[in-house]
Amino acid sequence: MRFLMRRLGFYLAAFAVAITLNFFIPRWMPGDPTTRIFLGLRGKLTPQAMDALRASYGYDGNLWDQFMVYLGNLAHLDFGVSTTNFPEPTSSLLFYSAVWTLLLVGLATAISFVIGIGMGIYSAWNRGGFFDSVFTPVNVMLNAFTPAIVALILFYAFSLQWRLFPLGRAHDLGIEPALTFEFIINVLYHATLPVLSIVIVTFGSWHLGMRNTMIGLLNEDFVALAKAKGLSDQRIRYRYVARNAILPQITALALTVGYVLGGALITEYVFNYPGLGKFTLSAIQARDYSFIQAQLLLLTASVLIANLISDILNLILDPRLRSRTQE
């Protein structure tokens, strides 16, 4: 429990850093949003209107008061009014689009982790063999192909050329969003290519990580002892080596969520998928600053929650961690 409390304390502190950055970045940069809007309107704004605008964005008063107001709004999940869909609050569009982004990230992470870990176990067990010497380098190289490019290639081949997959959207317009079989299948169909592009650029790192950790463990004495005892290969491979080797991968999993999120943002842009990435980019073009800032906080919170989950998983899988924390 003490272990979890310590981690929780760290995540809260990290979130505080994100909030502080989010508050200060626009204030450090040359020209805050209100000045931008003022310039954009070419002086058609009266000084009074300008003051009102500053107040509505929370840029009036001294810095400390601004910070307090900002924190107070955050506590109510009030990210300000969206300038793109004007009367709507930022939070409604934010949470709508976040659902789709998290769906992509969740599916892609799960699939790529399972594939990568499986391949890692196989190539570590048969290290130096054909599969290992060919696919380990190839899969890791796929990592360097960046989501943007893989998404472009898949979009070109499957959506434009062969017309096997849709050109955009998260589901067909004709289908009523509900928890029906038909709707779920339609959503998965639309998510296939975006998810696939993320899987292609990420599974290689699980493959390599699992393989390298397992190779290190295979030289350990406990494996030699297990062999001497005559335990089956199956048992040694999964219960003895893979179980130990997967722990660092789970820690790494939480750290890569941030990277996968970034990849998802770019992928959505290519596939015209209505997630956070697409709306963030239109927010940038529309200078909807409250949305741009809100997405950072939401994504940071998601990454931190993913880290907390991985801590709990580690605690379940690793008895050593449990006994140490009971002290």
Burial of 325 (0-12, 13-18, 19+ CB in 10 A): middle
Q: Least CB distance from residue 136 to other proteins, whole Å?
A: 9
Contacts made by residues 15-23, CB under 8 angstroms, sequence distance 24+: 15/300, 15/301, 15/304, 18/296, 18/297, 18/300, 19/71, 19/74, 19/297, 22/293, 22/296, 22/297, 23/66, 23/67, 23/70
* Listed residue (189, 191, 110, 199) closest to 150, CA to CA: 199
Q: Least CB distance from residue 123 to other proteins, whole Å?
A: 10
Q: Least CB distance from residue 318 to other proteins, whole Å?
A: 19
81/296 with CB nearer other proteins: 296
**What are residue 224's phi and psi, to 5 degrees?**
-60, -40
48/219 with CB nearer other proteins: 219
The C-alpha atoms of residue 175 and residue 184 are separated, in whole angstroms, by: 10
Q: Which residues contact 311 (CB under 8 A, 6 or more apart)?
A: 3, 4, 7, 254
What b/e string do you get for 207-229 counting C-beta neighbours within 10 Å, with b at 16 or more?
A: bbbbbebbbebbeeeebeebeee
127/183 with CB nearer other proteins: 127
187/268 with CB nearer other proteins: 268
Q: Least CB distance from residue 185 to other proteins, whole Å?
A: 27
Burial of 21 (0-12, 13-18, 19+ CB in 10 A): middle
48/285 with CB nearer other proteins: 285
109/300 with CB nearer other proteins: 300
Q: Distance of CA 99 to CAs 135, 276, 325, Å? A: 34, 9, 35
Q: Least CB distance from residue 184 to other proteins, whole Å?
A: 28
8 A C-beta contact, residue 85 and residue 94: no
Q: Least CB distance from residue 137 to other proteins, whole Å?
A: 6
Q: Which two tokens stand for residue 7?
A: 């981690």
Instruction: Tell me which residues touch other proteins (CB under 8 A).
Output: 10-11, 13-14, 17-18, 21-22, 25-26, 29, 126-130, 132-133, 137, 140-141, 143-149, 152-153, 155-156, 160, 212, 215-216, 218-219, 227, 255, 257-259, 261-263, 265-266, 269-270, 277, 280-281, 284-285, 289, 292-293, 295-296, 299-300, 303-304, 307
The C-alpha atoms of residue 303 and residue 309 are separated, in whole angstroms, by: 10
* Listed residue (270, 260, 273, 271) closest to 299, CA to CA: 260
* Listed residue (154, 136, 242) closest to 199, CA to CA: 154
145/183 with CB nearer other proteins: 145
Q: Least CB distance from residue 281 to other proteins, whole Å?
A: 6
Q: Least CB distance from residue 165 to other proteins, whole Å?
A: 14
21/115 with CB nearer other proteins: 21
Q: Least CB distance from residue 255 to other proteins, whole Å?
A: 6
8 A C-beta contact, residue 215 and residue 124: yes
Name the residue with tokens 């500053």. Answer: 54
191/223 with CB nearer other proteins: 223
